[in-house]
């Protein structure tokens, strides 16, 4: 298959390219820059110039493919998270508009939090609340609308995706701890964040796209939940700063925009994904990668 990939030069997209190439697929990667185009060519992919706000570039890339993976998302400024989610909705609508009735698969990206049915219970693949308070619901609502219009769309939900260099929201926690001189968690720190190694996540995308089962949701989750306290402790050791507990009312002042997530308990299951895709994660765990991270790069 010839796959049009958004986010192709990003953290996850860069891992998807070799995963798909090794399986015999071709990759057409979206990039906004000449440097990005050269990186894609060096990785063995083709380059398609455009960006997530240029909806015509998305439509033309999707039209020139056998399937589409949309893992691009604006992570430059999470203080604009709601705006970024609305932009993602528009991008999904544009990608899907040229796939209606073709049965060519569209695989979009969301977060595992969309599968939380009850506090303290792990998120599951088959649950989605269209009124979920997280603005990321816009992505899945856009996908559901396309499904009703005849698009073969499915969803990969991501937890904290990691390697020894990047770890999702935890990357920002490192920056806060470095700035504040303490590694903090909220309350007792028993709230949990799910996680997956980036190469395991890449395999979920490939298996899900090859499955081509419209309307499916998959959780790329290796660890159901790693406690915030355990994360803060390993960051404290790495940065050589004290580890402290903060009351919930101080989270926003300490963490900034990250404060809205810092105290959330967000466990997630991948039992159905492992069964349906015959996927079994094998990569290092989150704490292992955090222990290997270089906290004082030159």
Please state the domain extents for the chain: 2-159+196-222, 162-194+224-267+284-292
- Give buried/exposed letters for 252-274 (b at 16+ CB in 10 A, else e): eebbbebbebbbeebbbbbeebb
| Four-CA torsion 282, 67, 97, 51, nearest 10 degrees | 70
CA 87 to chain centre: 16
Looking at the domain covering 2-159+196-222, what would its CATH class be? alpha beta
Angle at 36 between CA 23 and CA 80, to 5 degrees: 100
What is the crossing angle of helices 198-211 and 11-22, to 10°?
A: 60
The third-level CATH classification (topology) of the domain covering 162-194+224-267+284-292 is: UDP-galactose 4-epimerase; domain 1 (3.90.25)
CA 136 to chain centre: 11
Element containing residue 206 per DSSP (H, E): helix 198-211
More confident residue, 266 or 132: 266
> Are 190 and 1 contacting, i.e. CB atoms less than 8 angstroms apart?
no
The residues pairing with 5 across neighbouring beta strands, listed in sequence order, are 29, 69
Separation CA 57–CA 97 (nearest Å)? 13
First-residue to last-residue Cα distance in the chain: 42
Separation CA 288–CA 207 (nearest Å)? 26
Whole-number Cα distances in Å, 57 to 86, 98, 138? 18, 12, 21
Predicted confidence (pLDDT) per residue in 14-66, tens digit: 999 999 999 999 999 999 999 999 999 999 999 999 999 999 999 999 999 99
Mean pLDDT for all residues in the chain: 95
Predicted confidence (pLDDT) per residue in 68-97, tens digit: 999 999 866 666 888 899 999 999 999 999
| Four-CA torsion 138, 142, 147, 151, nearest 10 degrees | -140
Residues in the chain, how many? 298
Predicted confidence (pLDDT) per residue in 232-288, tens digit: 999 999 999 999 999 999 999 999 989 989 999 999 999 999 999 999 999 999 999
| β-strands 223-227, 152-158 pairing | unpaired
Element containing residue 248 per DSSP (H, E): none
- Give buried/exposed letters for 61-73 (b at 16+ CB in 10 A, else e): bbeebebbbbbbb
- Give buried/exposed letters for 182-202 (b at 16+ CB in 10 A, else e): bbbbbeebebbbbbbbbbbbb
pLDDT of residue 77: 62
Of 112-116, 156-160, 222-226, the one with minimum mean pLDDT is 112-116
**What's the average model confidence in pLDDT over 152-176?**
97
The residues pairing with 184 across neighbouring beta strands, listed in sequence order, are 244
pLDDT of residue 118: 86
Q: How many CA atoms lie within 13 A of 77 on its CB side?
A: 5
The SS3 call for residue 241 is coil
């Amino acid at each position: 298959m010839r796959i049009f990939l958004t986010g192709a030069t990003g953290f996850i997209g860069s891992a998807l390219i070799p995963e798909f190439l090794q399986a015999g697929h071709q990759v057409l990667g979206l990039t906004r820059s000449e440097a990005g185009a050269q990186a894609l060519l060096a990785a063995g992919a083709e380059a398609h110039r455009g960006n997530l706000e240029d909806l015509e570039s998305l439509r033309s890339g999707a039209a020139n493919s056998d399937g589409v993976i949309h893992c691009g998302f604006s992570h430059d400024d999470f203080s604009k998270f709601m705006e970024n989610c609305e932009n993602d909705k528009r991008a999904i609508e544009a990608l899907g508009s040229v796939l209606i009735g073709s049965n060519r698969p569209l695989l979009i990206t969301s977060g595992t939090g969309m599968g939380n049915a009850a506090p303290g219970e792990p998120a599951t693949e088959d649950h989605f609340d269209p009124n979920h308070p997280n603005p990321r619901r816009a992505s899945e609502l856009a996908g559901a609308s396309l499904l009703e219009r005849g698009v073969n769309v499915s969803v990969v939900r991501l937890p904290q995706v990691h390697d020894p260099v990047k770890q999702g929201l935890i990357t920002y926690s490192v920056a806060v701890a470095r700035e504040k001189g303490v590694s903090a968690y909220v309350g007792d720190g028993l709230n949990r964040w799910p996680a997956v190694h980036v190469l395991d996540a890449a395999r979920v995308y490939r298996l899900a796209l090859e499955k081509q089962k419209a309307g499916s949701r998959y959780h790329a989750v290796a660890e159901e939940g790693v406690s915030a306290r355990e994360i803060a402790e390993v960051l404290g050791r790495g940065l050589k700063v004290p580890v402290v507990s903060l009351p919930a009312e101080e989270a926003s002042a300490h963490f900034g925009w990250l404060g809205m997530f810092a105290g959330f308990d967000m466990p997630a299951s991948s039992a159905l994904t492992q069964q349906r895709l015959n996927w079994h994660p094998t990569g290092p765990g989150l704490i292992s990668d955090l222990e290997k991270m270089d906290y004082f790069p030159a």
